[in-house]
Amino acid sequence: MHPIRLAVRALGAAALTALVATTLPSVATGARAAAGPPGAAAPALDPTAIDPSCKACDDFYQFATGGWRKKTAIPAGHPSWGSFDEVAQRNREALRAILEDAANAKDPPAGSDTQKLGTFYRACMDEAAIERAGTAPVNPLLATVASISDVKSLATRIATLQNAGVNDGLDFGSEPDAKDSSRTIATIGLGGLGLPDRDYYLKDDERTAKIRSAYHDYVAAQLQNLGDDAAAAAREAGDVVALETALAKATPTRVELRDPKFSYHPTPAGALSAIGPHIPWTAFFAEFGAPRFDAIDISIPAFVTAYDAQLAQTPLTAWKTYLRFHIADSYASSLPKRFGDASFAFRSGVLYGVKEQLPRWQRCSTATDASLRTPAGKAYVARNFPPAAKARAKALVDNVQSVLHDDIGALTWMGPQTKARAARKLDAVVKKIGYPDTWVDYSTLAIAGDQPYAALVRQVRAWNRARDVARIGKPTDRTLWGMTPSTVNAYYNPANNEIVFPAGILQPPFFSAAADDAVNYGAIGAVIGHEMTHGFDDQGRQFDENGNLTDWWTAQDATAFEERAQCVVDEYNALESPPGVHMNGKLVQGEAIADLGGTAIAFRAFQRTAEYRARGKIAGYTPEQRFFLAYAQVWRSLQTEEYTRRLAVLDSHPNDRLRVIGTLSNMPEFRAAFHCAASAPMVRKALCRIW
């Protein structure tokens, strides 16, 4: 997917927060300038966000958002704060009302959505019961680790723990076949690292070394929480870090993983013993209850071989310690407070500079939404997203799509053969807006009220894994969504050739019936264009209209695209924010291309509106000026330095400031709107332009 903020390939920083959701959910606290239900009236533009002391042509991010950033502080519990977080806060409050109503409902029917939501949320909120339960809910998992006696049983127990949602590597599941997306195949991916990226294990600079040392201490703390004495835990933590370092050396870089061909290796099931000779593959797959299959996509065969080598080379005692730690780490938020506190101190404190945890209700609202997606999603949209909002959003999407269609036809660097295929792909794009037309059936998931919270979490994880594995060998279910309806994000999925806009983002300041066209097109219009052009970025263009990985570009047109993409790579390699922290142009190129192309397409779509043609000013700004102000104000944010530095390593998106500076400095339309001189800082000398 290509979400707009981040996720498995999304538009920015918010998804990174989801990576630490066990202790730091992607929700917001603090200021509530737009209180009330999602979609409530909010100012189309925030005039107090503007910094009039800065010239628009010198630094448009400071001009458009400097006033807001001067008066705003990052609320406690967050590594960053911005427009996305403000909307997420309203959504979380809307969910809280739903969940508390469910939790207080009198005798709801067993198995009903209300019963499931209320039971899960209540169990999460009951900290006293969590303390009383102790580690009992995960003791069966710990006993599974204790039963390991040889390499064969080690490999099968790794599968057992995966079923319970433990991050232990050799990640088995299903996904659409990249070369035939109509069918779902078995896959083995990466995993097993406790730090956010391979580079944290391999780089030797002082900052990374300190993080690695803090991680060692965190591993030791969780082992102590499981009952090990301090001296033993410190020694064992060294074994865990050493094993993970070996796995990190076999893990490709994030830039390498951007190429879908790099991670596609369909392999006959009978050939697995040559890739991983120490793994009893039949027994491994049996642990998942997997259906029979003849071939499997091994995303990175070298990783599987390296993992297999560690099964034989690393002592069983070290492996057992590694698995025990990952049980504690994976369940930290649902176990007694000492586990959650240790996880928060490292994953949110050390890595992101956060000083205190979010309120319990926010963590539990996020956990319930993620765990009970259909029950929570249905309730959310029923209260907060009327059919009229979906219809208007679809009309805007259709307009942007039409403009992109015309733009492709007018490109001077693309030949007629590729243009015809590009138009065919664009016409075939599936548009998912607001919420699923077909909801996933949760009737077989029982949420009993007499279980501790961690037991419910384990049950949900096992249910989801079983659903995922059961898809192997079946036609691809193209109705599935990768985000919940309340999520403030959007994405493009190349395997389905689909753009997805959850109801959570279709509200102010992104989208509002009360806003003028300039604001809606500058905000949500640019988001729509962003996701749509992902189908033609360095990754998306490798998939055809049916979502199949195939080369449909002529060699000449592919070269022309790559030359234009290199302009974007070079631009972002040179950009830094904060000083000394450079973007990785190769890593962020897809998102930067989508930002630039999406905003340009949205502006042209806005030019088709009657409001643009009327040329009337609002609050002293022309229609085109309001378009660019809306775009910039969507990206207003504050971030801790730790968070910004982590994003530079992990995120395939430029940071929020550079998304504005890097995009608009390439747009002649922006220069004309604010009458910028050719020498102004917001005007690039050599413009990057693709769409």
Mind giving me the DSSP string for 333-383? GGS-HHHHHHHIIIIIIIHH---SPPPHHHHHHHHHHHHSHHHHHHHHHHH
Quote the domain boundaries for residue 188.
Answer: 136-334
Q: Is residue 98 part of a domain?
A: no
User: Which residue did the predictor score with more confidence, 578 or 183?
Assistant: 183
User: 50-63 pLDDT, tens per residue?
Assistant: 999 999 999 999 99
Does residue 23 have a pLDDT over 70?
no
Which of 25-29, 331-335, 557-561, 646-650 is least confident? Answer: 25-29
**pLDDT (average), residues 196-213:** 96
Q: Is residue 262 part of a domain?
A: yes
For residues 336, 341, 343, 345, the Cα torsion angle rounded to the nearest 10 degrees is -170
- Sorted by sequence, the CB contacts under 8 Å of residue 641 that are 6+ apart come out as 353, 578
**pLDDT (average), residues 498-514:** 92
Q: Is residue 243 part of a domain?
A: yes
Which of 282-296, 341-355, 380-394, 658-672 is least confident? Answer: 380-394
7 closest CA partner among 502, 419, 377: 502
**pLDDT (average), residues 439-446:** 96
Q: What is the pLDDT of residue 16?
A: 30
Q: What is the pLDDT of residue 18?
A: 31
- How many Cα atoms occupy the beta-carbon half-sphere of 348 within 13 Å? 27
Does residue 41 have a pLDDT over 70?
no
- Sorted by sequence, the CB contacts under 8 Å of residue 38 that are 6+ apart come out as 87, 90, 91, 94, 384, 385, 503, 504, 507
User: 64-94 pLDDT, tens per residue?
Assistant: 999 999 999 999 999 999 999 999 999 999 9
Total domains present in the chain: 1
**pLDDT (average), residues 651-669:** 96
Sign of CA dihedral 333, 339, 340, 344: negative
Task: Please tell me the distance from the alpha carbon of residue 558 to that of residue 623, in angstroms, as a whole number.
Answer: 36
Domain containing residue 171: CATH number: 1.10.1380.10
**pLDDT (average), residues 127-133:** 98
Q: In terms of C-beta density within 10 A (0-12 exposed, 13-18 middle, 19 or more buried), how is residue 564 classed?
A: middle
Q: Is residue 604 part of a domain?
A: no
pTM of the model: 0.91
Does residue 32 have a pLDDT over 80?
no
Q: What percent of the chain has pLDDT over 90?
A: 88
Does residue 12 have a pLDDT over 80?
no
Residue entry with tokens 């034989």: 312
CA angle 315/318/324 to nearest 5° reads 140
User: pLDDT-derived band of residue 237, with 50, 70 and 90 as boundaries?
Assistant: very high
Give SS3 for 80: strand
526-533 vs 585-606: helix crossing angle, rounded to 10: 130
Q: What is the pLDDT of residue 4?
A: 58
Q: Is residue 151 part of a domain?
A: yes
Q: Is residue 64 part of a domain?
A: no
Task: Please tell me the distance from the alpha carbon of residue 145 to that of residue 319, in angstroms, as a whole number.
Answer: 9
Does residue 43 have a pLDDT over 90?
no
Q: Is residue 286 part of a domain?
A: yes
Q: Is residue 409 part of a domain?
A: no
- Sorted by sequence, the CB contacts under 8 Å of residue 658 that are 6+ apart come out as 572, 575, 577, 583
User: Which residue did the predictor score with more confidence, 653 or 16?
Assistant: 653
User: pLDDT-derived band of residue 296, with 50, 70 and 90 as boundaries?
Assistant: very high
**Counting runs of H as helices and runs of E as strands, what totals does the chain give?**
30, 9
User: 444-465 pLDDT, tens per residue?
Assistant: 999 998 899 999 999 999 999 9
Residue entry with tokens 């990374």: 208
Q: What percent of the chain has pLDDT over 70?
A: 94
**pLDDT (average), residues 319-345:** 98
User: pLDDT-derived band of residue 42, with 50, 70 and 90 as boundaries?
Assistant: very low
Does residue 600 have a pLDDT over 80?
yes
